[in-house]
Amino acid sequence: MTQRKAFRILSILVVASLSILALNLILSKIKPELYLEARRESPLDLAMAQYALMDDLSLQDKNVPNLSQKNDRGIFVWPASSVLPEYRKADLNLYRGRAKNEHALEGITIFIDAGEVVAPKVIAPSAGDGPEAAKKPAGNVAPTDPYTGLPVSPYAAQRAAEDDDNEEETAVAPDVIIAQDQILTKLADLLKNQLEALGAKVVLTRDQTDSQTEISQAAFIGNTLAMRFVDELQEQKFKSQAIEELIPYLQTAVSAPDSPEARRVFTQTGVGPELRLLLDMEKQYKDVCFISLRLGDDQAAKGSRVVYYGSSSAERNGSSELLEDSNQDMPAYVAYDASARRRLAEQMDRNIRQYLPELNYQGKQAGVGEGQVLSARYNNLTSVEIIVGERQNEENMATISKEKTLVTLAEALAHSTYQFFCAE
C-alpha cells in the first residue's frame, strides 16, 4: 500500500467518524428520547428523563379571581374562555345514526350517582376555614321485618292485603316490592345493565367512595378524568403540570370531602381557580355524561322530574365581593354546556312520560327545568339529576317501590341516553 493510498483511506475514516458524530449530535437534539435508555440505568431515572422532554400544555391565561368581572346581577364572573388549551376533541358525529344494539354506545362513559346526599359542612365566613357541624338530611330508614331483621317496604302490608284478597288468582305473580332505602340503588343497577347492553362503560360512583356528599362524588369523577387526561397527553408526548398538581387534592377530596384540600377545589360560593381548571378540562369530554338519581322532598308534588344546572343558575352562583380573608367566596363559572344538558333532560322527561304515565310530574314546576343542582355545578359534563319520586307522597312511593316500575324507568332512561348520542 502506497503512502498516498493510506492517507486517502485515513481521510475517509476521519470524515466518516466526524459525520457519525455530527449525525448523533443532530439526532440527540431532534430525537433525544432515542438516547435516554442508554444513559439511564434505573426505570425511574428513565421515566423522569422522558417526562422532562415532554412539552407542557401550559395555561392560556392567568387563572386568578382578579380577572373576573361583575355581570348585570352584580356577581363576579369568570371569563367564558377556557384557561386550558383545547387538546381533546370528541367527535360525537361518529355516533349519529347508529342502530340500537350492543355497539351503539361503545366509547361513551357514563357516571351514575344514586342515593341520599349528606350536605357538606358550611364554612363560616368570619372564620375563613372553620367548618360548622354538618347538616344531615332526613334519612330514609325502612321498617324491618320482626323475624328476619331485613328492611321491608312500608307498602309490604298493602301488598300482603292485596295478596290475601286475590289468593284464588294464583296465575298472577305478585309485584316485587323494593324497600324505600334500596329504590335508588336498584334503579342504578338496572340502568347500568341497560346502558352496558348498549356498549357504554358505566361507573357507579357510590361503589368507589363511602362518602354521601356531592363533593366526594364530583372529586371521584374529576380525579378519574384528570388521570385519563394526563395519560392521553403522555401518549402524544405532552404533559399538563397544572392538572397533575390538581390530582392529589381531588384524591383527598374523595375520602375527606370536608378537608382543607377538598375545600380548596370545591369552594362554597362560586368557583375557585382549581375548580375552574377542572371544569375547563372536563368540558373537553363530550363523550362522558353524568346521571344522578335522587328522591325529592316536595310535599306538594309527585311524579318524576328532571333537573339540570345551566347558565342562568350559574350566573347567580357567585360572590358579589372578593375578599382576601374569605377563600370560599369566588366568581361564578358560566362555561357549562347548558344546551347539551337541557337536551338530555328534555329527552328523559319525554320518555318517562311515555313509558310511565303514572310518573308524570305534578307540582308547581315543570317536569323538566333548570335549577340549583349541586351535583352538576361541581362538574362540566353533560349532567342531569332525576328526581325519581317524592318520598312524602304515598301514591308516588307505592308506584316506584315496585320492581317492574324501576325496570321500565331504567329502560326509559337508557333509551333517552341512546337517543341523545345516536339520534339523527
**Mean of per-residue pLDDT scores for the chain:** 83
Residue 89 and residue 290 in contact, taking contact as beta carbons nearer than 8 Å: no
Own/partner long-range contacts of 59-65 (Cβ < 8 Å, ≥24 apart): 59/83, 59/84, 59/85, 59/242, 59/277, 60/84, 60/85, 63/273, 63/276, 63/277, 64/273, 65/272, 65/273, 65/322, 65/330, 65/331
Give me the amino acid identity at 111.
F
What does the pLDDT look like over 130-144, one tens digit per residue? 333 333 333 343 444
Q: Which three cell numbers stand for residue 334?
A: 358560566
Q: Is the pLDDT of residue 147 over 50?
A: no
Quick one: which H or E segment has residue 113? strand 109-114
What does the pLDDT look like over 393-422, one tens digit per residue? 999 999 999 999 999 999 999 999 999 999
Q: Which of 150-159, 279-288, 316-325 has the highest mean pLDDT?
A: 279-288
Residue 240 and residue 60 in contact, taking contact as beta carbons nearer than 8 Å: no
Q: Is 31 exposed, middle or buried (0-12, 13-18, 19+ CB in 10 A)?
A: exposed
What pLDDT is stored for residue 124 in this prediction?
Answer: 61
pTM of the model: 0.79
> How confident is the model over 223-246, as a mean pLDDT?
93
Phi, psi (deg, nearest 5) at residue 67: -75, -15
- pLDDT above 70 covers a percentage of the chain that reads 75
What does the pLDDT look like over 177-201, one tens digit per residue? 999 999 999 999 999 999 999 999 9
Give me the amino acid identity at 40.
R
What pLDDT is stored for residue 200 in this prediction?
Answer: 98
Spell out the alpha helix ranges (H) of 110-166.
156-165
Measuring CA to CA, which residue among 277, 210, 222, 283 is closest to residue 248? 222
pLDDT band at 43 (very low <50, low <70, confident <90, very high): low
> How confident is the model over 244-257, as a mean pLDDT?
95
What pLDDT is stored for residue 269 in this prediction?
Answer: 87
What pLDDT is stored for residue 197 in this prediction?
Answer: 98
pLDDT band at 315 (very low <50, low <70, confident <90, very high): confident
Reduced to 3 states (helix: H, G, I; strand: E, B; else coil), residue 109 is strand
